[in-house]
Amino acid sequence: MGKIFKKIFVKFTNLLQSFSTIWSNGVGVNKMDKRKADEIITQYLQKIYGFAVKKSFSFDEAEDLCSDIVQEVYLSLLKAGDIANIDGYIWRISSYTYSKYVSRKKKQEGVSIDNVILPYYEDYFPEDPDEDLFRLRREVAFLTKTRRQIVYLFYYENHSVSHISATLGIPEGTVKWHLNKARNELKENFTMERKIGTLGISPYIPTSFGHNGDPGSNDGPEYYLSDKLNCNIVYSVYFEPRSTDEIAEELGVTPVYIEDKVAFLEENGFLIKQPNGKYTTYVQFDPTTYSLELEDRKTLLRQELAQTLAREYAPKIIESVKDITELYVPTGNRQLFEAAAIFYGVANKCYINTGKDLGKYFIKTTAGGNFAAHVNCNSQPSDPDYKPKTDWSKYWSCGNMTRWSDKYPAVYSWSIDSHLSSRKGGWVNNTTEDYEYVYELLNGTLTENEANAEKFARLKEREFITEDGKVNIMLVKGKYSDVFDKIPPLEECYKEKIVSFALEYAAMVGKQYPPQMQDLITAYEVGGFIGNTVAVMVMDILYSDGTFAPLTDKERVTSNLLMFTDVLPQ
């Protein structure tokens, strides 16, 4: 069988001998013939070993895993009767045994810190400085969560005790006590070197996910990256390309535990393999720090632009849609439609094209997704003493959200959520079916009865219809292009005023991103310098200066939401 199977064959021979006694005592009555089980094991031994090699980090580990699988398969065969699909039977048991093997190895060789496994070896005796670093990481992993955070902030990030106290919300004396305890636990002979493996101690923690494009049948990047280990695998190659072994080293895990995850992330476009075999990524991660002063400066300029657009651009949009008369506004207030047109115009017709090809940033998943992915985190200010002059958080928005129906081609919707609307749940809660139900109500195919109870409950939950069944969102008869194509683009003279600052801002922000992300950051920061944020600012101005009457609660349901259809309410 060759030298490579010697260890396995010896174990297998011992296993056969041990079962001879069991079989002779009658345990195998009415079960598979022992000779047949021996033949099957012999036939599949090489294939089982091949399976083990693919799942293991070393040949020794492969031999151990193969031996475990052989034992499990042999035991199962002796207890089984006739097996119709022997291939499927063998590989099902092999996968089950591998799962148990990984679980056991994790328990024996790893410790979980925030779902990231750091290596721990009972017989690990470092003999050189590099090995000392691995042992140090192991010891840090055994600290309590609070103590580990304090050690990382103090030694790795060089923060003061007072800063750590304020960040974690505990007294300075408690921080000092934890540091003293940690020093004792880590032992005096360990040195605090800033080298590889920081993600193994302080992983990147996502707070939310965003995407630009079609998420496919799954839920966008969160489906793939909400697993913290998956997210940190991708983040580990963000600033520096890494091989699978280097990713494992950075995260403090054994490669056997992440190779399947790496393959999954590569298959779905979150990891990009380079010619040298290392991986990079085009997922955009929020920087862990940001400048309050820079954000303030950007917001102040945007507010200045919003004043100009509210005064000079908004009237032109109102004029451009004045002949759109076949529409339905629940409250009869046409200004609500004009406001939606203005919001769309500022958000979409003021884009500055940088000429960058952004195709490489769109991730194509096996579930049919095609989107640029964005991961958010709790970034901390790099200049915490700066006092902002603006509150940019109130200019948040979610959109453009467009929905169209294959079932009813006449149905199309556009919406953007912001503080001007009362809608909840963002894009996930904005489904195509919602608009299909409204359409069925309009064309008379949806009536309120027991069979349609769930549809009506959904429409009432979103307040798309009132309690008495009347439509409560804006409807436009015709195609969406009939409205949006009428809205004029922003004149070049206005764009010229912002390009120089936007480029300067993009260059400053771009310093926080790796080289492969520069085109995307430039396109986002320059192209979207006006965008949704300025659109919210413009609408705030128009609602506060008397151009439009303040929104009622009923109007907030459909503020910045238009549904296009070929039929309107009677």
Encode pLDDT of 541-555 as tens digits.
999 999 999 999 999
Helix (H, G, I), strand (E, B) or coil at 9: helix
90-94, 429-433, 462-466, 515-519: lowest mean pLDDT where? Answer: 90-94
Give 104's pLDDT tier (boundaries 50, 70, 90). low
- Distance CA(173)–CA(93), nearest Å, equals 55
Q: Which domains are present in the chain? A: 3-108 (no CATH), 116-201 (1.10.10.10), 307-356+395-565 (no CATH)
Residue with tokens 């549904």: 563
Helix (H) or strand (E) holding 112: strand 110-113
Query: Among 405, 399, 451, 462, which residue's Cα sits nearest to residue 432?
Result: 405
Q: Which residue has the higher pLDDT, 200 or 229?
A: 229
Q: How many angstroms separate the CA atoms of 483 and 289, rounded?
A: 41
Instruction: Rank 68-72, 75-79, 143-147, 444-448 by mean pLDDT and report only the highest.
Output: 444-448
Average predicted confidence (pLDDT) for the chain: 84
DSSP 246-295: HHHHHHT--GGGTHHHHHHHHHTTSSEE-TTS-EE---EE--SEE-HHHH
Q: Cβ(163)–Cβ(170) under 8 Å?
A: no
pLDDT over 70, % of the chain: 83
- CA dist 330 and 324 (Å) reads 16
Q: What token pair was written down for 82?
A: 């006739």
Going by C-alpha positions, the residue among 495, 568, 501, 530 that lies closest to residue 342 is 530
pLDDT for res 105: 60
What pLDDT score was predicted for residue 230? Answer: 94
H/E stretch holding 477 reads strand 474-477
Q: How many CB atoms lie within 10 A of CB 68?
A: 18
pLDDT reported for residue 13: 56
List the single range of 207-216, 310-319, 409-418 with lowest mean pLDDT. 207-216
Claim: this prediction has a pTM higher than 0.75: no
Specify the DSSP element, H or E, that contains 3: none
Q: Which two tokens stand for residue 547?
A: 């151009």
- Mean pLDDT calculated for residue range 258-271: 93
Highest mean pLDDT among 273-277, 389-393, 528-532: 273-277
Write out pLDDT tens, residues 324-382: 999 999 999 999 999 999 999 999 998 888 888 899 999 999 999 999 999 999 999 99
